[in-house]
Amino acid sequence: MTTYTRLGYYRHDVNKTKWEVADRYRDLRQVGTGAYGIVCSALDRFTGSKVAIKKLQRPFQSELFAKRAYRELRLLKHMKHDNVIGLLDVFTPDLSLDMFQDFYLVMPFMGTDLGKLMKMEKLSEERIQYLVYQILRGLKYIHAAGIIHRVRCLSFSAATRCWIGGILDFGLARQADSEMTGYVVTRWYRAPEVILNWMHYTKTVDIWSVGCIMAEMLMGRPLFKGNDHLDQLTEIMKITGTPTQEFISKLQSQDARNYIQKLPRLKKKDLQSIMPNINPQAISALEAMLLLDPDSRVTAAEGLALPYFTEFRDPEEETEAPPYDHSPDNAEQSVEQWKKLVHKEILTFKPPLVVAETKETAL
């Protein structure tokens, strides 16, 4: 049932959830839901393009939720890159700060994902080169801002808006030096340092995940398919070998050091022997990404320069995001203070100059 509210807005129930959205967005259809929000696809009547609209679940129910909402909004406003989902619009139906309770994030709609694509057909090598190049290009951009994306699994729904055309769900991004638990990333794509919370994560935590995704595209199946955390680590070490003493000494957790030192010694396997029919340049790229020691992995910028991606490379297009100021996100504020900051961010939002049809990576 649709009810018109104040000028320019209407109310519509989406699976028993009340949405009050700007009149330009029609044909709301739920495409995803999670702990922090619901996502609908919609038609933007101004541009004729399909968009994704995210309504955060009670964003001001606690200081933690309010801080998360503020952070997600700021990060989305900061990003302006072809391979990173940015913000097309943000609005609230509430007339004043006193009434402010809900707001909606409008982003390009991504109609497909790699998981679906891989189930439909075997990807050609040219496509794999191009797609991984685009992923690395997006990561170079966001890593320059000091943001770790925490690349997740291949089977992203349209709601989570990932690899095809963009690489981001900033509700899950973290600044580069913050502690993160390992439960968000699908296990098969988690970097080894995430599995046992070995150390502070660096930007190369994302590179490991890209290597796992690339290997799956080449092989048609996951490279590391563990049944639980420790089994995942075992599957990884069957290929990478057990860590060197030098690497073990870097681990911040004594429990992790003790666990690793008790493992049977395993030698590193040659990836070419596991994937005998794969282009040696692809193997070299995987070898550079899938290293146990995060400090030894290539960065996104270094990955772009690998020979495997030469055919698609355009260094002038490999841009970097401007620095992102994390200090407001890390402040301790009351719910009311966070709400005031979010409201200000909404009021100061400037939409893209040209809102074109959603860009999807050519498949």
Tell me: the pLDDT tens digits for 132-161?
999 999 999 999 988 876 554 333 322 223
Over residues 252-307, the pLDDT tens digits come to 888 888 888 888 899 999 999 999 999 999 999 999 999 998 999 999 999 999 99
Query: Which residues, 6 or more positions from 39, have their beta carbon under 8 angstroms from its beta carbon?
Result: 30, 31, 32, 33, 52, 53, 54, 55, 158, 159, 160
Over residues 305-357, the pLDDT tens digits come to 999 999 999 999 999 999 998 888 888 999 999 999 999 999 999 988 754 44
pTM: 0.84
Superfamily designation of domain 114-317: Transferase(Phosphotransferase) domain 1 (1.10.510.10)
Phi, psi (deg, nearest 5) at residue 62: -160, 165
In the chain, where the domains are located: 19-109, 114-317
Q: Up-side HSE of residue 271: CA atoms within 13 Å toward CB?
A: 26
Q: Up-side HSE of residue 130: CA atoms within 13 Å toward CB?
A: 12
Strands 2-4 and 37-44: unpaired
User: Is 55 annotated as ligand-binding?
Assistant: yes
**CB of 209 closer than 8 Å to CB of 239:** no
Instruction: State the DSSP H helix or E strand holding residue 208, giving kind and residue range, or none if neither.
Output: helix 204-219
Residue 182: Cβ within 10 Å count? 17
Class of domain 19-109: alpha beta
Instruction: State the DSSP H helix or E strand holding residue 304, giving kind and residue range, or none if neither.
Output: helix 300-304
Tokens of 343: 């409201």
CA angle 138–170–286, rounded 5-degree value: 40
